[in-house]
Structure 1
Amino acid sequence: MTRRHSRRTIMAGAAATAALGMTGCLQNPDQSGGSGGGGGEKYTPGDTPGPGSVSILGAFGGQEQEAFLASLEAFEADSGITIQYTPDSDFTNTIQQRAGAGDAPDIALFPQPGGMFDLAGKGMLTPIDVFLDYDQLNSTLIPGFLDSARLQGRVYGAPMRMACKSLIWYPKKAYEEGGYATEPATMQELYEITDQMKADGIAPWSDGWGSDQATGWVGTDWIEEFMLRVHGPVVYDDWTKHRLPFNAPEVVEVFDIVGELLKGEGNVLGGTNAIINTPFSEAPLPLFGEPPQAMLVRQGNFVTGFFPEDVVANMDEEVGVYAMPTWEGGFDGQPILGGGDLATLFTLNDDTVKVMEFLTSDAFGAEWAEAGGWLSPHRTFDPEQYSDSITRQVAEIAAGAAVFRYDGSDLMPTAVGAGSFWKGMVEWLQGAKTSQEVCDEIEAGWPK
């Protein structure tokens, strides 16, 4: 893969444009605007005493539920508030049905912002600036997180955990023996490293998009990562909110850039056919063969759950990770693509406010961090509470980000983000359609 510089002069101003745009976005919203279950007035403690119990609905169960409840035990004992958590694997539909029937929980933990926006638009949720110290909260969060929960000038959810997607994993021993740099500053520098790998006779990348009916979602992440890096968060926001058409030149260009990486001769183990036919959970496995068949896989922090057991048992010695680098000539700063559970409030009273204050603070999550599989969205969370150095390194990467943005397909209408975008990525990778054709079709099918 040859070193590639940006082609469009518009990119040169991406950093300045992004900085200007974010300055306005991140300010404490005007409480006179928007609507919600609690209205626009600032809530005063004592206005509405709570009943001593708070109900919470979320999407996660099993070990995650156990770790979540463990993280609440000390708070319940100190506050005297009993928390009743209900997991629901069909959360997206259940919360809409319950809210519509007047049976909403006191607090809901949304894994994607879309459903939250639907209910906020109907006036069922209370904007967080009504009952939380918005400026204090924003000062400790990874920059840009609250923008993911913003609708018409008001923010309706605050994160209680995050997922970090912008990560590149490698087999530590083999990578270091190959002499490959572990801190590339730009994607163009990483391309030079991958050229070295190919010269050494090894495929740089392993990738897998297979996911049954959801095949293609991994491909959407590639596009989102490069939209953030090449054009910056302001253009990214315009794209995900459809203020910028899906077939705009900026988007088509990013498809072509990603195509040069994924479709380039020798860049990905097995080529495009292997990408389509390999389950995403198996993409990391070639990195840990004897010898490794590939050196790099781009995937979120959850991917460690799919590493071989012997690797997981000795993660700090076997695995290396660094942030997906910036794009030379693009956004001047390290962006992080990810996700997170957004805590939202249906019932406003003293008890629910206390629970929301705790859930969305950097004091929450110590027990979950120790159990593993959880990242705090706060830069001020004590990293020593994580159970291993790899997780601490990922947390450090996230905490050092210039800006965070939610997974774009999760922000788009379901018909696009979990439909035509997934399908279009597969057709594009297989060569059935060009970048322009795929983008044109997705734009034509965008819900009116």
Structure 2
Amino acid sequence: MARSLTRRAALAGAAATAATVGLAGCLQNPDSGGGALGTVDRYTDGDVPGDGTVTVLGAFGGQEQEAFEASLEEFTSSSGITVQYTPDSDFTNTIRQRVGAGDAPDIALFPQPGGLFDQAAAGAVVPIDVYLDYDALEGTLVPGFLDSARLQGRVYGAPMRMACKSLIWYPKPAYQAGGWSEEPATMQELYDIADDIKASGIAPWSDAWGAEQATGWVGTDWIEEFMLRVHGPDIYDDWIYHRIPFNAPEVVEVFDLLGELLLGEGNVLGGRETILNTPFSEAPLPLFEDPARAMLVRQGNFVTGFFPEAVLSDMDNQVGVFAMPPWEGGFEGQPILGGGDLAALFSLDDDSVALMRFLTSPEFGGPWAQAGGWLSPHTTFDASQYADETTRRVAEIAATAQVFRYDGSDVMPAAVGGGSFWTGMVEWLRGSKTAQQVCDEIEAGWPA
């Protein structure tokens, strides 16, 4: 099995000369003279008094809305500002329509960068360096997070929550009884652990991609994880922003490496048919059977919501988690793949600026953290506010990472990230198309 891979320098030069919208620029305070609303230099409190109310549009409702609003109570009480939050499950279309009709909210919480980039390119969003202390903000965030909101060298949004995807979960009692390392240093070491697990008569991995019309999205996460580890954040950025083609040699190689893990005999419980035909929410269940039928599942922090009730009630004792480790010979350091809600400002006045400062600060989110299902993107957030030690461990994994990168399929054009990439992963895993064929077809269908 090929378990090391040297970087390819050939495409690096080509990528450096490519010109396209993406996460270009360094992680320093950007040039305030360019980008959308570039005539605005720096906002000073008092320039535009507010009317006492700030409107916010987001995509989440239900219990998440309740936790969000609870996290605003201290701010509204101390400031006297009323926050009117509106949830919309069709956020992407609604924000586009409202901005086009001249009815933009004061603040929008974008679940994906693509819609934010659209509005920033149209000049509707205020760059964050106009009203926030960019350097102070960047200094408290997980490294690289602000890149997810950077358009042509300027940043237009800041995170108010984070999702961490680069996680390996395991059944703590059974795994510890097997004596396997709970902190593998590299993917190659994790592969060796998987071989030992397999030799013990248990499938190392459980995986499932079923999601009705969205089947395949779990597979895109796998590819993104490998791209980030094997080739590093620079090539990863070039790939997701199409500065290199989707069928570049690096991408095809990553498909092949993933194939060694997922398609190797006995590596995944049930093999490819089980992966394709099982709902993604059921992937962790075999880990918690008695006896366990698999030992490892790779999935984001949200997966705990699908654990059995008996496990959830004793999660710190029943569940272990570690970061999907780096690739030996690839990027030197721990990368984290994830996502998050990006807060963006449409209306510049004292009240909306005050709320943006709070939403994007390490002080926001305590009640949400206590309710569960929320992670702060700030390394300085008070981790004692999380509901359990398992969540604190996930927060520590994210906070100590060398670099964060946004889920690539969420950044790519919808026709790819939510279309041909998903279906291509299914065709590849099923064996009906090779990695090269899938990558060639996705590249050929990339929107102009």
Shorter-normalised TM range: over 0.9
User: What is the SS of the residue equivalent to 2:63?
Assistant: helix
Residue identity matched to 1:314:
D
Report whether the alignment pairs 1:354 with 2:354: yes
Superposed counterparts of 1:146-161, under 5 Å: 146-161=146-161
Deviation at 1:10, TM superposition (A): 4.5
What per-residue deviation string (whole Å, max 9, x for no partner) do you get for residues 286-329 of structure 1? 00001000000000000000000100010000000000000000
Residue identity matched to 1:102:
G
**1:35 aligns to what?**
36
Gaps of 5+ in 1: none
User: Counterparts of 1:290 and 1:278 in 2: how far apart (Å)?
Assistant: 20
Q: How many residues align?
A: 440
User: What is the SS of the residue equivalent to 1:71?
Assistant: helix
Deviation at 1:5, TM superposition (A): 1.6
User: Counterparts of 2:77 and 2:384 in 1: how far apart (Å)?
Assistant: 24
**2:247 aligns to what?**
247
Contact 1:162 1:340 in 2 (8 A): yes
> What TM-score do the two structures reach when normalised by structure 2?
0.96
Contact 2:24 2:153 in 1 (8 A): no
Residue identity matched to 1:34:
G
Deviation at 1:39, TM superposition (A): 3.9
User: Counterparts of 1:179 and 1:3 in 2: how far apart (Å)?
Assistant: 25
**1:121 aligns to what?**
121
User: Counterparts of 1:320 and 1:108 in 2: how far apart (Å)?
Assistant: 35
Report whether the alignment pairs 1:238 with 2:238: yes
User: Counterparts of 2:357 and 2:400 in 1: how far apart (Å)?
Assistant: 24
Deviation at 1:24, TM superposition (A): 5.1
User: Counterparts of 2:363 and 2:109 in 1: how far apart (Å)?
Assistant: 18
What per-residue deviation string (whole Å, max 9, x for no partner) do you get for residues 334-371 of structure 1? 00000000000000000000000000000000111011
Contact 1:3 1:191 in 2 (8 A): no
Superposed counterparts of 1:208-287, under 5 Å: 208-287=208-287
Cα distance change, pair 419–112 in 1 and its aligned pair in 2 (3 A): same
Residue identity matched to 1:148:
S
Structure 1 stretches of at least 4 aligned residues deviating more than 2 Å after TM superposition: 7-11
**1:316 aligns to what?**
316
Contact 1:142 1:404 in 2 (8 A): yes
Deviation at 1:41, TM superposition (A): 1.0
Contact 1:34 1:40 in 2 (8 A): no
Deviation at 1:111, TM superposition (A): 0.2
User: What is the SS of the residue equivalent to 1:322?
Assistant: strand
Report whether the alignment pairs 1:444 with 2:428: no
Cα distance change, pair 193–131 in 1 and its aligned pair in 2 (3 A): same
**1:327 aligns to what?**
327
Report whether the alignment pairs 1:375 with 2:370: no
**1:25 aligns to what?**
26
Cα distance change, pair 47–8 in 1 and its aligned pair in 2 (3 A): closer
User: Counterparts of 1:421 and 1:9 in 2: how far apart (Å)?
Assistant: 23
Contact 2:232 2:330 in 1 (8 A): yes
Deviation at 1:4, TM superposition (A): 1.4
Query: Which moved further from structure 2: 423-432 or 2-11?
Result: 2-11
Superposed counterparts of 1:40-439, under 5 Å: 40-439=40-439
User: Counterparts of 1:440 and 1:3 in 2: how far apart (Å)?
Assistant: 23
User: What is the SS of the residue equivalent to 1:181?
Assistant: coil
User: What is the SS of the residue equivalent to 2:374?
Assistant: coil
What per-residue deviation string (whole Å, max 9, x for no partner) do you get for residues 35-74 of structure 1? 13x7431111110000001000000000100000000001
User: What is the SS of the residue equivalent to 1:269?
Assistant: coil
Coordinate RMSD, CA, aligned: 1.7
Deviation at 1:3, TM superposition (A): 6.8
User: What is the SS of the residue equivalent to 1:72?
Assistant: helix
**2:19 aligns to what?**
none
Gaps of 5+ in 2: 17-22
User: What is the SS of the residue equivalent to 1:281?
Assistant: helix
Report whether the alignment pairs 1:5 with 2:4: yes
> What TM-score do the two structures reach when normalised by structure 1?
0.96
Contact 2:33 2:39 in 1 (8 A): no
